[in-house]
Structure 1
């Protein structure tokens, strides 16, 4: 069994002793936009504190109105707000935790008309152009940071984190890309970092020595005109001298063309940039980004890369991450798979964050804890995401579960996803379900598809149908030709696909199949391959840490994607990850055609029309990714016999495979029985 001695060792940060080296990183949740916002935030953070995380960093609060992320975004600049913050800090402290307030000025990323920046240069990811701050306004903003820090201490926070990374206002001052000022806050390197240093000094003077002062530095900017590694190291030294107790490391700007936290990024990929900061200072340094298991965190500390690890999304996935690590239960950690579907994608589309693998996240007050008053014998048919999630949640409430799965192993469509390059984390999701189901005593019957009669004969109190989906076979002449194959046959390796491929359907499955046909799952885990493909200089010798893109070899296959809809392919992909997939397709010279009418599949290949004009594409195989049908046969048979089964997951709705909806639906059903 792995041990995590370094991860579990206490650490002194300034005047504060942290019980371990695991930190919940700051992230936006938008919980403040819901009803009972402070109660929700208190329950959210208290659950992580009870899970023994060493320190919690709150979501970012702006120090003044022009610095908010969006209209109505978190802002903390008045004494009248103290009581609402005390609800949160009190809950965390009563649960045994510590929490600091992150102060974040969004700068030119603020989605408000009055946004500001070092200059009037507009960010390409914002519809609004900023107004350049005057020298007097810069000084006033420094005072605003100090005011918010003082309020934070009065509200009971254990300190503050100053957000100087990810392309927000402070980062905009430090980078030559966005700072062409000619006053004392621009021009030279010393001028560009002055704003940040003056903020640290002002905050320290306002708070005194006791509260923690954390500065989040951009360890690698990943934009042209950003800092070099040498400049970042020099800047870190100045931050320490200005009064910081701890330096947290951020990676990249939000407008960077390099993925930084998606599942396609190898674990702990940014360790060299973090080590560069660590070697420059004597105060503790915290690692962040793509650290989702205690083994990864332990190795980063043991190898001297960092003193602590920041994990934001992993604490959405499992609030008990630290406690399970301490108790030797790492195999029961509900691991963040880096999908971004329920957290970042929801935040970027003005919804509240939760978690695909843990639908309780951010909704703690909606999920009552405790055992069921009347335990039942329940049969679950189907061992995919919905079936496993229901069985797990119902078993935790004390019900007696039997889980039937027709195949030789659990997982359903997850077994297809895990072989796609960049989706290896689905292995961890399966491991979690398998281990937890065994520990909870769920009777798992593999290779068994019960009939309606058999289910009735075993006198179950409830039957839950989670039989998933079957691929939709499109109505195309020659769809039974040997060249036509299902995505299931491709991803299971049943069919060895040729060098020239057409993919019919450009939803999530179509893009996954394209990734699978183009790449190698093992290569995708290699940091060197990742850096070459995205043009990252791991030595960070250049401004912004970028270099030329050097794709690793030619694509394994020639791929052409098609869809019926007359709109750009990939429009329905995730907000935070879709651009990555589309960039990968462009790099591999994947052809994409929309507005297609399919005529036939034959020895010549795929016959199709666009705007009435016929075409023939010579291919070795045509992969069918044209949607799914709900597999409801067993459900219908049970209903016909007078039973009242419940149906969840793809068996309920099959419009697009959606583990997020399936797991949420399963967990909520388990709460109602």
Structure 2
């Protein structure tokens, strides 16, 4: 039976072919001139071709002189509007609608880096710890007109409507709406009606400039999830008012950008559909469609939300980064063929924090649609891949999609490699989606998978590969410290594999990176008695390199009396249950440990490559066998290798 999610949805005067919207996500693809460049266009066109009903573009600033966090979409002049018209025409040719998320970045503008204090409802520290300045009453009419002009320019540029951002106590309208930010004592502050005054005036101005038939979707937090913030009851009160001011649909998000970032981009430890309860409650008071966003990555769940009447449509973000054809596959019932988002945020958020363009673990072609397109080869080759971890599996899939004859050798009975361990700590089971998906793909593509096969020179020679890929992974490292017995040492991997059971005791974890943190959580979850953990880390930070949306909730969970975290602490020697450490230049002895666990990184396993590189000079190393890193690098190298093989 066809889901209602696949049926047309009417929002104001706009009819969307289905109830699936693509969320606005700033991914670092933007151009300095504020127009849609080829990278962004190909990225969005791939999702439009993939069946999305409506694409909501990244934040578009209504003031070209007030950019968001870096390069920002904007309408600078008539030439840029004509450029946008060419873009919207291409999206329409694919059968999709497209609207921009218009906003005044306000407090979140990078204008401070130009010596201009960012404007906000009041004076406070913004997300970059920069001091804002309060907007004056005299400035407000000009700001309202900028919103009206931005919306009218969007209409002229061929957009089907707009989304107006007022969520997360964030950017200018969100700053005014939230009591967490708005400390004004004039008619724009104090009561909820006053805090919503600027939003209502902006809506009125947009209606005056664009007319009654230009759809407006409003993105707002159903609850700011903070005792100081707007509540669900506040939003229920506002919905009828906002409808009277011209809102044609609501997109319900949640949380705040500063205090609750893990609620805005919910990752590990957050339930799917994190904003559904608020959206469902607001639908009861709304007379226009209500959409919901926030960790909706499962196609059957997305259909359930609409079919059960909880909401009228869903807004997908990372799920569409992971698979641009999500909608087509869902509507065809090919649920298992959808490349899944595992809520890791490593590529989409983590790369952004490094000032890199966003990527995706399971889909490295995101933002590189043309460069990493997998096309059928005219000359199929026999490709042998050694190692069935996520890198080897991804390479086998990519090569098979290109039409090559692929043999995948794995020494163990199960595929997945270290990713199987990564699924074990609390809140990490979602990562198993990648293994399940890739195994399904290898079967669908008839890849010759040989398990329990230890590859050596004879095995490789017998297969006569025309291309050889070595993805043999990495092994755990022990620190070069006196007193450690390599045969008896307990490593993080042994604990996670269940080889060493630790039901309690006084435990030392050496290494406070992501793996060390996960081992601590695992031990707390598994304990069957009293357990105290001391975690030592040489660096000055615990969990360095973790994506903030996962790190924030992880640090909250680790902040408990049973766990002591020590930074700037280097292991010097081990003597039974006693260790000597150097802490901030001073040595001290820690004793009484019943178990010592080492979470000290990994080193590449390259023995086979070193043996074969002379005989097979075209052999390629990928993943941890090349350099231990995250799955993001392994899968990217895998797909790049498949493209080079041709």
Query: TM-score w.r.t. structure 2 length?
Result: 0.94
| 8 Å contact from structure 2 (residues 569, 581) kept in 1 | yes
Q: Which residue of 2 aligns with 1:507?
A: 513
- Does the C-alpha gap of structure 1 residues 273 and 449 become closer, same or farther in structure 2, counting only changes over 3 Å? same
Report how far residue 428 of structure 1 moved.
1.1
2:28 maps to: 30
Query: Which residue among 150, 153, 163 is the counterpart of 2:152?
Result: 150
Who is 2:220 aligned against? 217
- 1: distance between equivalents of 2:528 and 2:500? 22
Tell me the residue number matched to 1:544. Answer: none
Gaps of 5+ in 1: 521-552
* Map of 2:546 onto structure 1: 573
Aligned partners of 2:119 and 2:529: how far apart in 1? Answer: 42
**The one of 164, 169, 172 aligned to 1:169:** 172
- In structure 2, the partner of 1:672 is 644
1:335 corresponds to which of 316, 320, 340: 340
- What corresponds to 1:518 in structure 2? 524
> TM (normalized to structure 1)?
0.90
Verify the 8 A CA contact 1:416 1:488 in the aligned structure 2. yes
SS at match of 1:314: helix
1:398-439 deviation line (CA, Å, top 9, x unaligned): 111111111111101110011111212112111111111111
- Assess, with a 3 A threshold, how the Cα gap between structure 1 residues 304 and 217 changes in structure 2: closer, same or farther: same
Corresponding residue for residue 134 of structure 2: 132
Q: CA deviation at 1:329?
A: 0.6
* 1:190 and 2:164 are equivalent in the alignment: no
- Describe the SS at the equivalent of 1:393: helix
- By how many angstroms is 1:482 displaced? 8.1
Deviation of 1:612 (Å): 3.6
Q: How far off is 1:115 after superposition?
A: 4.7
Q: In 2 relative to 1, CA 70–458 (structure 1 residues): closer, same or farther, beyond 3 Å?
A: closer
SS of match in other structure, 1:403: strand
Asked whether 1:253 is paired with 2:256, we answer yes
Q: Deviations over 1:252-309 (max 9, x none)?
A: 1111146211222111133222222211101110111111111221222233321111
CA contact (8 A) 1:66 1:116 kept: no
- Cα distance change on mapping 1:164 and 1:120 into 2, 3 Å: closer
Counting matched residue pairs gives 636
With over 3 angstroms needed to count, the CA separation of the structure-2 counterparts of 1:105 and 1:454, relative to structure 1, is: same
CA contact under 8 A between 1:518 and 1:588: conserved in structure 2? no
Asked whether the equivalents of residues 372 and 639 of structure 2 are also in contact (C-alpha less than 8 Å), the reply is no
Query: 1:288 corresponds to which residue?
Result: 293
> How big is each residue's C-alpha offset from its partner over 1:105-133, in whole Å with a ceiling of 9 and x where there is no partner?
22212222235444442235223222211
Moved more, 106-115 or 13-22: 106-115
User: Aligned with 2:59: secondary structure?
Assistant: strand
Rounded Cα–Cα distance in structure 2 between residues aligned with 1:482 and 1:280: 65
CA change 1:34–1:345 in 2 (3 A) is farther
Say what the alpha-carbon RMSD is for the aligned residues: 2.3
Shift of 1:67: 4.1
User: Is 1:18 the counterpart of 2:19 in the alignment?
Assistant: no
Distance 1:482 1:558 in 2: 25
Q: Secondary structure, in 3 states, of the residue corresponding to 1:215? A: strand
Question: Is 1:598 matched with 2:598?
Answer: no
Bigger mean CA deviation after superposition, 174-183 or 227-236: 174-183
CA distance in 1, matches of 2:512, 2:223: 34
Note closer, same or farther for the CA distance 1:34–1:358 as it changes in structure 2 (3 Å cut). Answer: farther
Q: Give, in angstroms, the shift of residue 574 of structure 1.
A: 2.4
1:107 aligned partner: 106
Aligned partner of 2:143 in structure 1 is 141
Structure 2: which 5+ runs fail to align?
Answer: none
Cα contact 2:250–2:291 (8 A) shared by 1: yes
**Which residue among 117, 121, 124 is the counterpart of 1:122?**
124
Residue number in structure 2 paired with 1:440 = 445
8 A contact 1:70–1:111 mirrored in 2: yes
| Matches of 1:193 and 1:180, distance apart in 2 | 13
